[in-house]
């Protein structure tokens, strides 16, 4: 059994990670300031005898008594709605939050785990994207607060690894979906699900030919835990390489929800990436990990969750 701190524990991904860590027998310290995370995401584990929760902003000094074996820094405003509304908070959690959690890991001699993002590749000119691609990011663009917060976080982690011999892991996460996603977070699957389940037309930006690759949260968490248990101290892509157009995704969601909705088209937002697909060769070869849940199966499995919330 290990004692593990998870920041961003009340978020979509953080709460699923807490579930998995507890199921594996670990002791979990959850931390969140509830800017975008929700207390109900932790309802199932809140009174677990191996779980404790601290409401705390990770950009402030962090004190945890006792030994810690791993610090998993997931706190971030990852959805477009929230990082556009809180650009300074987004940058601070990537810079100050990463600095504070790195300091804690150094103090406790703990493994440090950072969830980075496929957004470090920007609007990629190389396809699919492997970890050695340096990206095409506008540092002064409309998405830069999120992209640069993660790029800076990676650079800071590299510095701590090299200067303090800190044991580190970096997961570059691609688009993920599942239960506990917020319907109002601006990401495409919650948007489409809400529209389809309430009988509204699905809003596709541009002509819908832009592509994304979607990974079910169970596969994603499995990838994170596999990486944590490895000794790989360089970035690893974790995602599903099954690439789909946004129009194809819209049609698939209409099918799995049995909706009468149609598709409408609106202008493409500025600097919306044209393509996004992970090269997961490194994860396959070094972690023996790959996703198992296909998109049709995964979307079907989350319809009841979105159906319940769309009716509220």
Quick check: is 146 catalytic? yes
Give the integer Cα–Cα distance in Å for 61 and 239: 32
Q: Give the right CATH number for 3-176+215-238 from 1.10.1060.10, 3.40.50.10260, 3.40.50.720, 3.40.50.1000.
A: 3.40.50.720
Please report the pLDDT score of residue 185 as a whole number. 86
Please report the pLDDT score of residue 80 as a whole number. 84
Q: Which residues lie closer than 8 Å to 28 by C-beta, 6 or more apart? A: 4, 5, 6, 9, 18, 21, 22, 45, 48, 50, 51, 52
The pTM of the full predicted model, rounded to 2 decimals, is 0.96
Please report the pLDDT score of residue 258 as a whole number. 97
Please report the pLDDT score of residue 281 as a whole number. 98
Please report the pLDDT score of residue 304 as a whole number. 97
Out of 83, 112, 121, 146, which one is annotated catalytic? 146
Q: Which residues of the chain have pLDDT under 50?
A: none
CATH 3.40.50.720 residue ranges of the chain are: 3-176+215-238
Evaluate the CA torsion angle 182, 82, 126, 281 in order and state its sign.
negative
CATH 3.90.25.10 residue ranges of the chain are: 181-212+242-277+293-310
The helix or strand, by DSSP H or E, that contains position 145, with its residue range, turns out to be: helix 144-164
Domain 181-212+242-277+293-310 has CATH 3.40.50.150: no
Which pLDDT tens digit goes with each residue over 80-130? Answer: 888 989 999 999 999 999 999 999 999 999 999 999 999 999 999 999 999
């Amino acid at each position: 059994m290990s004692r593990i701190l998870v920041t961003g524990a009340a978020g979509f991904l953080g709460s699923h990670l807490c579930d998995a860590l507890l199921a594996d027998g670990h002791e979990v310290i959850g931390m969140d300031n509830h800017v975008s995370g929700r207390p109900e995401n932790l309802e199932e584990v809140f009174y677990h005898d191996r779980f404790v929760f601290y409401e705390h902003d990770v950009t402030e000094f962090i004190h945890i008594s006792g030994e810690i074996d791993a610090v998993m820094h997931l706190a971030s405003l990852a959805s477009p709605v929230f990082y556009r509304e809180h650009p300074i908070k987004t940058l601070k959690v990537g810079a100050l939050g990463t600095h504070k959690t790195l300091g804690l890991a150094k103090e406790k001699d703990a493994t440090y785990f950072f969830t980075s993002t496929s957004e470090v590749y920007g609007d990629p000119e190389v396809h699919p994207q492997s970890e050695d691609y340096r990206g095409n990011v506008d540092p002064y663009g409309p998405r830069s607060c999120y992209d640069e917060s993660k790029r800076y976080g990676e650079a800071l982690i590299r510095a701590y690894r090299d200067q303090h011999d800190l044991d580190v892991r970096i997961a570059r996460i691609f688009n993920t979906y599942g239960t506990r996603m917020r319907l109002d977070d601006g990401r495409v699957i919650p948007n489409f699900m809400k529209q389809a389940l309430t009988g509204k037309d699905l809003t596709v930006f541009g002509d819908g030919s832009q592509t994304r690759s979607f990974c079910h949260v169970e596969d994603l968490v499995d990838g994170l835990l596999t990486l944590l248990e490895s000794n790989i101290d360089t970035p690893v892509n974790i995602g599903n390489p099954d690439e789909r157009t946004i129009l194809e995704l819209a049609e698939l969601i209409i099918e799995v929800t049995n909706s009468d909705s149609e598709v409408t088209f609106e202008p493409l937002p500025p600097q919306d990436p044209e393509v996004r697909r992970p090269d997961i060769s490194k994860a396959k070869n070094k972690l023996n990990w790959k996703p198992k849940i296909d998109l049709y199966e995964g979307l079907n499995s989350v319809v009841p969750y979105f159906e319940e919330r769309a009716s509220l």
